[in-house]
Amino acid sequence: MQSIPDHANKRVLEVGCGTGAFTKEILKKLQDGDVFHIVELSSDFCSAVETNVLQQFRKDNPNIQIELHNAPIEEANLEGKFDAIICGLPFNNFPLELVNLLFAVMFGFLKEGCELAYFEYLGMLKIKRVFGFSTIRRETKQRAKDNDIRFDKQSGSQETVWRNIPSCRVVRLKGC
């Protein structure tokens, strides 16, 4: 959660909260006056996160504004820009065009110089490139190329988290 700044009155966006594992970590970084928006496609996950993670936090922290949107991020009705975006979307499972659209939408919500962080499991692209059918190999090669271009354009940095099972890579991209 290193991408979330420490300053007051920050605005944080989480995209694709799932069961709320990252949400819980984000909540620890918030203080009075902050605003936290969560956008999640699945209504079941929204209900679970509201009940298991947000309900008590809202009671304990009435001065932190939390908005949970049950919508795809491409259609979410969000206003203003954010100081950090934490994204749990499984990009490697999405078609390339959708991945590019999702990043374009999210960068549209990110303040200049602030960070969008996402996670990917190590080795997945390599496995698909070696063992996939030829169309999958071609698509995977393009996916890796798109990732590299995005990484350079958005002043990317990355870190491997070996303690996670399976190990994953945290990628941080800057808004510009």
Ligand X SMILES: C[S@@+](CC[C@H](N)C(=O)[O-])C[C@H]1O[C@@H](n2cnc3c(N)ncnc32)[C@H](O)[C@@H]1O
Pairing relation of β-strands 168-174 and 157-161? Answer: antiparallel
Pairing relation of β-strands 82-87 and 110-121? Answer: parallel
Q: Does the footprint of ligand X cover residue 54 (CB under 6 A)?
A: no
Q: Does the footprint of ligand X cover residue 109 (CB under 6 A)?
A: no
Considering the complex, what minimum distance in angstroms separates the CB of residue 102 from ligand X? 6
Among 11, 34, 38, 45, binds ligand X (CB under 6 A): 45
Considering the complex, what minimum distance in angstroms separates the CB of residue 112 from ligand X? 23
The full DSSP string for 111-135 is: EEEEEEEEEEETTHHHHHHHHS-HH
Q: Does the footprint of ligand X cover residue 40 (CB under 6 A)?
A: yes
Q: Does the footprint of ligand X cover residue 65 (CB under 6 A)?
A: no
Beta strands in the chain (DSSP E): 11-15, 35-40, 65-70, 82-87, 110-121, 157-161, 168-174
Residues 117-146 that bind ligand X (CB under 6 A): none
How distant is the alpha carbon of residue 130 from its chain centre?
Answer: 28
Considering the complex, what minimum distance in angstroms separates the CB of residue 160 from ligand X? 18
Residues that bind ligand X (CB under 6 A): 15-19, 21-22, 39-42, 45, 72-74, 88-90
